[in-house]
Structure 1
Amino acid sequence: MTFTKYQFNNYCYWPSNPKKIIEFIGGSYLASKPDLTYKRFIKSLIDKNYAVHAYKYTPQFDHQELAMKAWKDFKNCQRSLSKRIGTSIPSIRIGHSLGCKLHLISPDGGRNCEKFISISFNNFSANRSIPFLKKISQKLEFNSEFSPSPERTFGIIKRTYNQKNNFLIKFNSDELDQTDKLLSCLRARKEDNSKGIKLKGTHTIIASAGLRENFLGDWADDDFKRNTIKQISNLIDKSI
């Protein structure tokens, strides 16, 4: 018997006997309703018998606070699932865009999961991420930046991120992607086992399918997007 609902700010899908838990954090704004914006991607994981916890959040400048809240809510959902099925099962963390950063600066340093999968990692500054902010800040003579800043984020990863098993996915037509920088940062640590792969696609390819399908119907979700999402879910399944 399956269970689907929002709980602890997570969209939760619980099969009766899931093999593992997927803890997913989407990108800025897209993650405001992940069961809609990442519908097809989440379904591709559900079809492989994973329990899915997809975090819902509103963008803010304090990314460390968002990471803390997500970590706590994932823990609460994991406890609820364990109680429901009568056993504890391991978790796999997946992030898309900003969601990758939030997982990487999680307060447990990635210790309490088996693996982390990054899709289109993004760690740009506030001025780069929010184009109009640079113009406003220059006009009003103030500085505004995400916390932690891009530079400090890489420092945190090098010093405190302890997960050795990381699988990084990037796309060939993605101008927002910084996966190469992340991979270099991870591999600079001792005993790292991080791997990366490049696929055809754009930054939002795993999200746009769900959006288009919801508003325009199945006909709007072209075969390339469908096949790419299937390819990604198959890669995730095999890497786990």
Structure 2
Amino acid sequence: MSSWRRCGECWTLWPRQQVQGVVEFVGGSYLAATPHISYRRLLEGLVHSGLAVHAWSYVPGFDHQLQARQAWNAMRQCRTTLQERIGSRLVPLRLGHSLGCKLHLLAPDGGRGCHGLVALSFNNFTADQSIPLLGVVAPSLGVSTEFSPSPQETLRLIACHYHQAHNLVVRFGDDQLDQSLELVKALQSRNGDGSQLLHLPGDHLTPASAGLRRQFLGDWAEGSERQQQVEQLQQLITSWAVTGTTASG
């Protein structure tokens, strides 16, 4: 495995052996500023399986539609660089965590430029839910602030303008921030939808690296059970990236 490298707005990591596929990853909220650190164990496990990883680095703002376009453009640039190196065309798997799922779902190509999306812990909160102080300060300033698109509009856009039929929505059992059921409802309202919902053990920080889980959850956050959860997730994503199905079929 090579070293992490910066490519435009993305951090990239490519396997030394033949590239089996490419994963385009967008992380959640402030974890995504340094995805090569925040999600290191998960992403490096994918590279060990022969997948190239392109992880967009960003700080979340209020205009999610704009950030979805920025992520899409940055990923496309990285993919072009990789294809020139290996001499073949790659159709990516898109992988998102929390807010990152929303940004993939709002991509300007409507999901046409990939062979599927794996959405981990989809989150579609309002601005004041995501930033509690905002709900206190904004009214006193006479300002109404919301993400664009709003949560309700996001689900409408997914139902009407997201065209990718192959989506794996992963919901962790002890995740209090997850809104995957709302996403699945929007996806399955479309004609020809083939989306799947998968329940796995874990919580909202299961995809994040061990050091971050310890920081937020304490020493208990990293043990053999946690390691098994991450390994299971790696196998699941690898199988989906290569065959478009889960390891169990």
TM-score by length of 1: 0.94
Measure how far apart 1:219 and its partner are: 10
Question: Quick one: distance in 2 between partners of 1:116 and 1:165?
Answer: 7
1:128 paired residue number: 129
Aligned length: 237
1:93 aligns with 2:116: no
Measure how far apart 1:238 and its partner are: 2.6
**Conserved in 2, the CA contact under 8 Å of 1:168 and 1:197?**
yes
The one-letter amino acid paired with 1:113 is C
Rate the CA distance shift 1:220–1:130 in 2: closer, same or farther, 3 A. Answer: closer
The one-letter amino acid paired with 2:238 is D
2:105 paired residue number: 104
Percent identity of the aligned residues? 41
**Conserved in 1, the CA contact under 8 Å of 2:40 and 2:209?**
no
Question: Quick one: distance in 1 between partners of 2:211 and 2:235?
Answer: 18
Measured on the aligned residues, the alpha-carbon RMSD in Å equals: 1.8
In structure 1, the gaps of 5 or more residues are none
2:8 paired residue number: 8
Aligned residue for 2:163, secondary structure, equals coil
Rate the CA distance shift 1:196–1:73 in 2: closer, same or farther, 3 A. Answer: same
**Conserved in 1, the CA contact under 8 Å of 2:97 and 2:120?**
yes
Q: C-alpha deviations, 1:137-171, integer Å up to 9, x for none? A: 23223210001110111111111100000001011
The one-letter amino acid paired with 1:132 is L
Rate the CA distance shift 1:110–1:219 in 2: closer, same or farther, 3 A. Answer: same
**Conserved in 1, the CA contact under 8 Å of 2:65 and 2:103?**
yes
Question: Quick one: distance in 1 between partners of 2:141 and 2:230?
Answer: 43
The one-letter amino acid paired with 1:60 is G
Matches within 5 A, 1:63-212: 63-211=64-212
The one-letter amino acid paired with 1:128 is Q
**Conserved in 2, the CA contact under 8 Å of 1:206 and 1:225?**
no
Aligned residue for 1:29, secondary structure, equals helix
TM-score by length of 2: 0.90
Question: Quick one: distance in 1 between partners of 2:81 and 2:214?
Answer: 31
Question: Higher mean Cα deviation, 198-207 or 71-80?
Answer: 198-207
Q: C-alpha deviations, 1:22-72, integer Å up to 9, x for none? A: 000000000000011001111121111100001100111011111101000
